Amino acid sequence: MNSQAEQFLNLKTLPARVRVEEAAVLLGFSVREMPILAAGGLLKPLGRPPLTGVKYYSTAVLEELRRDQKWLARASDYIVEYWQNMNQKRKETRKNSASRNRNNLKRPFQFSASRFENAVQ
């Protein structure tokens, strides 16, 4: 854990709302996993932030989720399933592109004597 995360966790009173980075530290997930949880409906940002905007989360809700063992298990399972699906899609894409590449290979030139015999006559 980096020093900023330790300092944040050692605050006597946490702010009412936190950004994605602090929310990830509170819940024990990586910053990269937070959008996955939000997209899966397991975590909801405050208000209606724009897609590319900064997302804030309620510290009170995060504290409740942090203590909820069933939610933590569901969230952890969801992350595992998400990456399994992504890896499966990548494998299928690679497999499909490899077969397409094999089918698109140009055949080597084959000399046909009969073609030239007709042209010479």
Q: Residue 5's pLDDT is what? A: 72
pTM above 0.95, yes or no: no
Lowest-confidence region among 36-50, 56-70, 88-102: 88-102
User: What does the pLDDT average to over 40-67?
Assistant: 93
The radius of gyration of the chain from alpha carbons, rounded to an integer in Å, stands at 27
What are the b/e assignments for 45-60, b being 16+ CB within 10 Å?
beeeeeeeeebbbbbe
Lowest-confidence region among 8-12, 47-51, 98-102: 98-102
DSSP secondary structure letter of residue 55:
P
User: What does the pLDDT average to over 25-49?
Assistant: 94
